Homo-oligomer: A and B are copies of this chain.
């Protein structure tokens, strides 16, 4: 069928590039890897993968992420395609850009050595291959919008988290400070974030209450919007 109807049309190399975010040292960080093959060997790059023949584009990203982080079931969102003519100087390659959110506690730091990888704070990114610096900017904007609209940012925190952790995370995402009392009010009103009876003693002597995201309550919230 393809031969019959479409043989006159050009075909293209397709890659996915993924901006993997985590929250670390009170900052957003992005996972970069040193390219281990030509061209551009040795340059910092977003985790990237060529799309295979019998593979959805989403799956390409998941495959690349599993390879670089050891994790499955990562939250991903496609942002957009970068399809200009000379974005890659060596060949015509169309890239489909995603971002991913991971909980840094699940990332095995030994992978850094094995994969020649490193987490960079978003404010201290090196120059990357081709148009990847632009990709990160676009990804941050989309991620910021999405986390303000839906509670997906929680994927960068452990399942149990304190309000302070969430506060710092939101400040890092929005890149501005928020009043502590007003922030706590917002969290307490988001009734799909529930207080547990557990206490985190790791960050203060007094201890801080641990909260968790309740998926069921969130679905209920989505349906009824209150």
Report yes or no: B12 in contact with A51, Cβ–Cβ below 8 A.
Answer: yes
Does A91 sit at the interface, judged by CB under 8 A? Answer: yes
Residue A96 lies at the interface, judged by CB distance under 8 Å to chain B: yes
Binds B, one of A3-11, A65-73, A167-175, A187-195: A3-11
Contact B81 A96 (CB under 8 A): yes
CB of A50 within 8 Å of the partner chain: yes
Residue A94 is within 8 A (CB to CB) of chain B in the complex: yes
- Cβ of A83 within 8 Å of any chain B Cβ, yes or no, is yes
Q: Name the B residues within 8 Å of A52 (CB-CB).
A: 10
Cβ contact of A80, chosen from B54, B81, B91, B92, cutoff 8 A: B81
A84 at the interface (CB under 8 A from B): yes
Nearest Cβ on chain B to A82's Cβ, whole angstroms: 8
| B residues less than 8 Å from A12 (CB atoms) | 11-14, 51
Residues from chain B with a CB closer than 8 A to the CB of A79 are 80
Digitize A79-102: 1 where CB-to-B-CB distance is under 8 Å, 0 elsewhere: 111011100001111101000000
- Do A90 and B11 contact each other (CB < 8 Å), given the known contacts A81-B57, A84-B56, A85-B54? no
Identical copies of this chain, number: 2
Residue with the highest number of chain B CB atoms closer than 10 Å, among A57, A58, A78, A96: A57
| A134 CB to nearest chain B CB (Å) | 14
Complex-state Cα separation, A92 to B6, whole angstroms: 10
A-B contact pairs, 11 of them (CB 8 A): A5-B37, A5-B90, A5-B91, A10-B13, A10-B50, A12-B12, A12-B51, A56-B85, A57-B81, A57-B83, A78-B81
Shortest A77–chain B CB gap in Å is 9
Question: A124: CB under 8 A from chain B?
Answer: no
Cα distance, A171 to B56, chains bound together (Å): 37
A1 within 8 A of B: yes
A63 to chain B, nearest CB (A): 13
Contact A50 B5 (CB under 8 A): no
